[in-house]
Amino acid sequence: MKIETVDRQTVKVQLSVDDMQDLAITYEQMDYKDPSTKRAIVALLHKVRQETDVDLTGGKLFIEAFPHREGGCILYISVLDAQGQGSARPKRYRGSFNTPMIFRFSDPEDLITACDKLFTQYSHLVLKSSLYLMEQSYILLVYSYFKLDRKIAALVSEYGEAMGKGAVKSAFIKEHAKPLIINNAIDTIVERLCR
């Protein structure tokens, strides 16, 4: 089990297959109405409190679960009502799954390396990805599941140029650039060129 603090109200918990067996849960059967899932969440909250300074027991929880490609799953657990702190609410993510982050690469090797790192570290956060060719540059559009776009942007910006995010920019690229891989660009690049 790996616990990472995202902010004062959110943690990321990575559970291995063994962790899930110990908690008597499976990704497919996870349901907050299920008593096994409730027991597992209570145990996880206790573990989070022991290992971090984040207390998620002070209000309603928002939990997002994603399957991990090596088995197990990744959970993002956020407290929505922090009692004792003026009922502060975290900022809600106002982005849309249809609004991609846009990155430009002049070197195909940098593109391949960035995709390999994204696949390894953040594949659970990527909803879809597309690749285009425009003026001798590769343009990667990354649609994210979660509010952690900044982590994806920081990683990819080590290898390419972040061009921002937005429906207008992506529409321009889709209209004027040559499509190379429309669906699952990151996965396709990694499968064909890195493995």
In a domain, 95, yes or no: no
Examine residue 90 and state whether it is found in any structural domain, yes or no: no
Report yes or no on 43 lying in a domain. Answer: yes
Do residues 46 and 112 both lie within one domain?
no
| pLDDT score at 126 | 82
Q: How far, rounded to the nearest angstrom, does the alpha carbon of residue 27 sit from its chain's CA centroid?
A: 17
CATH code (residue 164): 3.30.70.1950
Query: 185 and 105 share a domain?
Result: yes
Residues 70 and 111 in one domain: no
Backbone CA torsion sign across 188, 190, 193, 195: negative
**62-108 tens-digit pLDDT:** 887 777 777 888 888 887 654 433 333 333 333 445 578 899 999 99
Residue-wise pLDDT tens digits, 118-136: 998 887 778 789 999 998 9
Q: How far apart are CA 181 and CA 184, in angstroms?
A: 7
Domain count, the chain: 2
Question: Starting at the edge strand that comes first in sequence, how are the strands of the sheet with 126-134 ordered?
Answer: 161-165, 101-105, 137-144, 126-134, 178-181
Domain assignment of residue 131, yes or no:
yes
Domain co-membership, 6 together with 74: yes
* 1 close to 77: Cβ distance less than 8 angstroms: no
Domain that holds residue 16: 2-79
- Domain for residue 88, yes or no? no
